[in-house]
Amino acid sequence: MIKKSKKVILTGLLSTLTAAYLLGSFAQAKSPSVESTAKEKLEAYIKFTQILNVIEKEYVDEVNTTALVDKALKGLMTNLDSHSTFMDTKAYKDLTVQTKGEFGGLGISVGMKDGALTVIAPLDGTPAFKAGVKAGDIILKIDDKATIGMTIDDSVKLMRGKPKTDIVLTMIRKKEPKPLKIKITRDIIKIQSVYVKTIGEKVLYIHVTSFDQKVVEGVKKAMKENHKAEGIILDFRNNPGGLLDQAVGLVDLFVEEGVIVSQKGKAKEENIAYKSHKKNSDTQTPIVVLVNGGSASASEIVAGALQDFNRSIVVGEKTFGKGSVQIVMPIGDKEALKLTVARYYLPSGRTIQAEGVTPDIIIHSGECEQKEDPLFLKERDLKKHLESELEKIDVNATIKTIRVDDNSTDSNATKGEDDNKTIITEDQLYKDAQLKSAVDILRALIITNKGKK
């Protein structure tokens, strides 16, 4: 544990001051270089100890040296990047609880973008999703606490709490003239990570909401049960990421050879390449991947890798850009550092971090305008039209209204409600411009893929 008494600090100050005297003046400000010399390092340590000593002696209130050092470490880690942090005893304990037990949450993934606490994505079916939180929302306040200068870990800590308790998020949303206040009730977050539907007879639609430990298994099962499908849509929109091995495993289902993703850091042990394998890989079925600004981390790795292997067409909007690796390094028994130690690189060598994945075809969210031929009457409309004309001929006539769909639509009404969970209809497609475009592109790929198998 990093703890020093005032006596030890002062002794250290005397030692560093002596060393500084031997090395010369260190008071002048210097522009930092990429790598510090031994002298520069020593001067930096001396400066820190000097300032700490001045605060202890001159600050108006009594201060605790350990608390001061902890605050300095938190500031230091925050200024490295938005994902690195120093965890004191309480923060480290909270992390242990979060990874080992259940907790109440909102179901959103957040990140820092341009210095603002930004929603990466709300997860389907969670309290945040139901309350209307959207990817790209900027969180200004959590209850009455402003998020300016707040770390990601601190914000997550505030948003988590006992199930069935309320929280109010104040947010800025694009195209909204005023900040929005959204009240959300915390709950135990249980996520279904893979949703499977079909579009017509040829298209298999797989929506992966997050990369938990069952993703590869779920996608394999979907492909096996729908083996007659001639094309696949992988929907990673609003997918905040998750387990790296699942991202690698998913790409491995569709490519035979090559490095899927690599991570590179300063330490040699952090330089790892994750390769594909030939066993049971589907290299023929056309694939379209859907992404947006809420697609991050593992979902960006899959989309970017399949794009680099020329194995899929990526459609939608530019992804979030979260491609760094963090590890938790304990300091003693009660404290720890969460430190960024590497970055991910796609097969082509490009990085995801702060860059994201740019789709091959950019399609913004929204609905498709659906126009019908004004000269074309559907069967039901034609029936109503004829009945109306008959009424004009003989207003006294008794006309029995016959529903054209009495034996079809009605009998399928309940069936349709059940099938809606596994089938995407044409009407539903027109309400989702990105998905509609993805299906059109995939159908074209299916046609051009004829005879290749």
Assess whether 322 carries a catalytic annotation. Answer: yes
> Sign of the CA dihedral 221, 223, 227, 228?
positive
Cα distance between residue 163 and residue 193, in whole Å: 21
Q: Which two tokens stand for residue 41?
A: 């390092």
Which ranges of 211-253 does DSSP label H, i.e. alpha helix? 215-225, 244-252
Q: How far is CA 238 from CA 36, 292, 316, 320, in A?
A: 41, 7, 11, 10
Assess whether 373 carries a catalytic annotation. Answer: no
**CB-hemisphere CA count at 13 Å for 243?**
12
**Distance in Å from the first CA to the final CA of the chain:** 61
Helix axes 65-80, 38-58, angle to 10 degrees: 130
Length, in residues, of the chain = 453
Q: How far is CA 179 from CA 124, 140, 385, in A?
A: 23, 8, 49
Cα distance between residue 328 and residue 310, in whole Å: 35
Cα distance between residue 186 and residue 104, in whole Å: 5
Q: What is the DSSP letter of 211?
A: B
Residue of 109, 295, 297, 299 marked catalytic: 297
214 Cβ neighbours under 8 A, 6+ residues apart: 193, 194
Which residues, in sequence order, are bridge partners of residue 169? 142, 182
Residue of 88, 235, 308, 432 marked catalytic: 308
* SS3 at position 346: coil
* SS3 at position 248: helix
Residue of 74, 134, 197, 322 marked catalytic: 322
User: In degrees rounded to 5, what are phi and psi of residue 321?
Assistant: 95, 50
- Whether 187 contacts 105, CB under 8 Å: yes
Closest CA to 445 of 322, 328, 331, 286: 286
Burial 236-260 (b: 16+ CB within 10 A, else e): bbbbbbbbbebbbbbbbbbbeeeeb
Q: What is the DSSP letter of 90?
A: H
Assess whether 297 carries a catalytic annotation. Answer: yes
- Whether 306 contacts 333, CB under 8 Å: no
404 Cβ neighbours under 8 A, 6+ residues apart: 379, 380, 383
Cα distance between residue 137 and residue 118, in whole Å: 6
Residues with a known catalytic role: 297, 308, 322
